[in-house]
Each structure stands twice: as structure tokens, then as C-alpha cells.
Amino acid sequence: SLGGTHNLEWWKFSDVVNRLLSELGIDPQAMRREMTFEYGRDAPNSPAMWFDADTYEESRLIPNFSLRNHLTREQIDQIPISVEGRKSLLRLYSGDISHSKLSEAELETLLSEISYPDFLREYAGLTEDAVQLFDKDQHGSYGLEMRALSAAEAIWEGYPGAHLFGRDWEVEDFQYPVAMWPDGNASLARLLVAKLIPEVAPEADALNIAAANFDYSLLDQSANNVRLRLNATVVNTENTETGVSVTYASSGKIHRVTAKHSVLACYHSIIPHLCPSIPEAQKDALKYQVKMPLVLTNVLIRNRDALDKLGIDAISCPGRLHGRLFLFQGIHTGGYESKGDAVSLVFWGSISPPEDAIDIRSQLRGSRQKLLDLSLEDFEREVRTVLDELLGPAGFDVTEDVLAITVNRWPHGYAYEYMQLWDPEWAPGEAPHEIARQRFDSISIANADAGASAYTHVAIDQAYRAITELSELSQNAEKL
């Protein structure tokens, strides 16, 4: 089941990342050949959009429907919103609106300084019920409500708007050829562990890692060159005259270890609490980035018959708690093979922030709090309601066909990436994440936050940078 980071965007990899993956025996393109999962672009009627009765007063599934495609009059006429709302959408998608020509610079300024929903209201004339359709469409990709995105950012993602100013609106087929393991990038972490401590999993390699057995009792042996201590939560780290001290809690006791150097590889906003002596300016920079909360609710169902009958495997749900759901099947990498008829559905997205949360950080914190306030019963009730109404007409029995539900809350999910509406453009070296990741004597900082980008390869690059900093520090010390 999905619960955290799970993509390898291999076409973005640096030489550092490619060298690491090669050393671990990972071939992303070979993994691609063992996958059929395409984020719900395989079924004949996908992507689809489903309108629930609670929100739209009737239940309606519209096949082959995406707000990023050129919607036809026939498709728009099926949307269960007001007549005026449908008319406003038709004007937008038909291009029956023309604004005065602007220079590229003028248009760029306009689009970067207005939210996409406000752009739709002011320049496309959309009604409120039409604008609402877009609200959750980036919950999974950005981890944000659409009101947090500028018009330019939304248009970069393929949404309509530039054509209203005489620019081309090119709708490309969905292409996101990621490589993936069935357990996400946990397999990458396991391969790293197997490389560092071979005795833990002597038979493990990139071809069998998802199913390989690990002997966790061998992680923390005094004879190891590398020791990994599980269930040991660091609560403090400080520089000393001879290096660093690290205090951690384990089994109800507090322990302290010392070393020449350490790397803080955790999300930025917690670092000032772990290392209180860090400079104030660096603390402020560390606090600037707020993680984007996400939720992935995995539902094991008896079979995919109802989905096949409807011809769908990816559905947007603009009126529900989760903005989107996918059929998660077809990932036979790392030696994993699914058995039997049961399949997994992934309800993917984030929780809409409170309406009165205006700035981006208030939105993220408000969304996180709403996520944590929901109980398992809340999620189960939501999932069963959706599946009953969506798949029930195709023969799905929500009482008998739901086999298991796992809610993976990811309250501190994506690393914060700078947004046009909320962040200025900093000079090189002056952005918060660049100040935040500066080495503090013998303590280096590494994580995806340090790269201000929510990708595994960014975290690897930042780890390499942090270790390089400490290596150079040691070399300089030896010369003194």
C-alpha cells in the first residue's frame, strides 16, 4: 500500500544519484518494463470525474473527463451544476472569450500575481459552482488547494487560461514515466541498508528487494562497520569541543553518544528544537518551510469487476474528502507479484484547509490539524460511502467487497516548494532553504527540505552535499 514517497523520477536524476543507483544495482528503465501502473490512464474510460449526491444532488460519473483537457459541449452539459455554471465553463473551454493582447512580460506578471480560482472568476467569468470543480484537483500532486496556486502555476500544469490571451493551449497526453516499487521507496532504503550491512540481508538485490527477508537483529552489532539503532529517537544534538554529542531516547531511557560529526536529516522546522544553539537567523530560515500534509487511504477490495464494468481506474471526486482515487495494480518490481483477485484502491490527496486560512502556512497547518482530528471511523465511513455510491451500480457490495482499509496519514509530507503567490525571488544563496542547510560547526543538515523540493533524488543530492561538507571539514582540520 502507498503511504509516503514512492516515485523514482529517473529523468531528473543528477550524476550523483545515478551513481548511487548504479552501485545499488537499480535500473529504473528496467523497472518501468515490469510495470503497467500508469496513475490510472489504462482503462478505456479513464480519467473520469464523479459527482456525488451529497454535494451535487445527484450521483453522476462522467467518463474520459479531465479539467486539463479540451472539454466538449457534450461533456460540460453532463456536469450537475447550475445552468449558468455550465455556460461559463463552455465559454472557457471553447475559447469564446478574448482579452486584449499583452506582451509576454505583462502576461507573465498578471498570471503570477493572481490565484488560479481568482483568474477563473475575473478573466474567464466562471461562476462559483464552476470554480469549485477545480478546488481539489491538485490535492495529490501539489498537496494544496487550488487557491494556493498562481494562474501561471496552474497553466503550467495544463489547466486552461493562456488561450484567453491569444496563447496556445497545448494539451499533451499524460506522460509521467516513473519507476516504482510496490512498497514505494522503502525498497531503496532497504537496498542502502543491505549495502551498508550485508549480513542483514545477504541475498537481497534490486531484483528481489521488495520480497527479501531482513534480519533486523543484526543492524546494531558492535562488529559492524555501520550500526543502525532502531527505536532510538534523537531529542538533542550539540557541538562540543571535540565534535558533537547526540542525546536520544530508547526504551524509556535517555542515552548520549559522541562523534566527530553528525548529520541532521530531518524536516527543517524540528531542527531548532533538536539543536537550540543553532544561530537565530538559521532558526528563522528553518522555520520558514512548512511541510505539506497528505493522506493516502488504501482500500483492499475483493476484485476489480465493478471498475472493469465501468471501464475506469482513475476517478476525480471534487465533492469528497479525498480528491482522487486510483486502482493501484501492476507493479511487479523488486521480485513482487500480486496473487489472487483482490486489488488495492488508493484514495489520494490532502484535506481541504479551513476557509479562513488565508496565507499558505496557515492553510498547511490548518489542513494538517483537520487531518489529525479525523478518526479511523471517519475515514472508513467516507470510503464506504464513496464506493457504495460510485461502484454500487456496477455490482460492488460495500459490505462484502471491502476487505481492509489502511489510512496512511502523512501530516509532514511533501517538502515545501516555493510558490509564486507566497514567496519572493531570492538572490542565489539567500533563499530560506539555503540559509537553513548551512553547516553549523560539526553538524551538517540534509533532507528534501534542504533542497526545497519534494523528491527522493533531491534528498540524495542533499545527503551527498552534507557529507561532502563534513569531509572537507575533516581534511581542513588535518592540515592545521
- Please report, for the domain that includes residue 296, its CATH number: 3.90.660.10
Residue 308 shares a structural domain with residue 387: yes
Residue 409 shares a structural domain with residue 472: no
Query: Angle, to 10 degrees, between the axis of helix 15-23 and the axis of helix 456-479?
Result: 100
Asked whether residue 386 is domain-assigned, the answer is yes
Residue 157 shares a structural domain with residue 239: no
Identify how many contiguous H helices and E strands the chain contains and give both numbers. Answer: 17, 12
Give residue 173's pLDDT.
57
CA distances from 343 to 84, 298, 401 (A): 41, 10, 11
Asked whether residue 444 is domain-assigned, the answer is yes
Residue 316 shares a structural domain with residue 404: yes
Provide the domain count of the chain: 3
Residue 296 shares a structural domain with residue 376: yes
- Please report, for the domain that includes residue 249, its CATH number: 3.50.50.60
Domain housing 139: 70-165
pLDDT in tens, 100-109: 788 999 999 9
Asked whether residue 176 is domain-assigned, the answer is no
pLDDT tens for the chain, residues 1 to 480: 677 888 899 899 999 999 999 999 999 999 998 888 877 778 999 999 999 999 999 999 999 999 999 999 999 999 999 999 999 999 999 988 888 788 999 999 999 999 999 999 999 999 999 999 999 999 999 999 999 999 999 999 999 999 999 888 876 655 678 899 999 999 999 999 999 999 999 999 999 999 999 999 999 999 999 999 999 999 999 999 999 999 999 999 999 999 999 999 999 999 999 999 999 999 999 999 999 999 999 999 999 999 999 999 999 999 999 999 999 888 889 998 888 899 999 999 999 999 999 999 999 999 999 999 999 999 999 999 999 999 999 999 999 999 999 999 999 999 999 999 999 999 999 999 999 999 999 999 999 999 999 999 999 999 999 999 999 998 887 776
Asked whether residue 206 is domain-assigned, the answer is no
Burial profile 172-196: b = 16 or more Cβ within 10 angstroms, e = fewer: eeeeeebbbbbbbbbbbebbebbbe
Give residue 5's pLDDT.
86
Residue 125 shares a structural domain with residue 237: no
Angle among Cα 66, 68, 74 to the nearest 5 degrees reads 55
Asked whether residue 324 is domain-assigned, the answer is yes
Asked whether residue 195 is domain-assigned, the answer is no
Task: Give the C-alpha separation, 355 to 370, whole Å.
Answer: 12
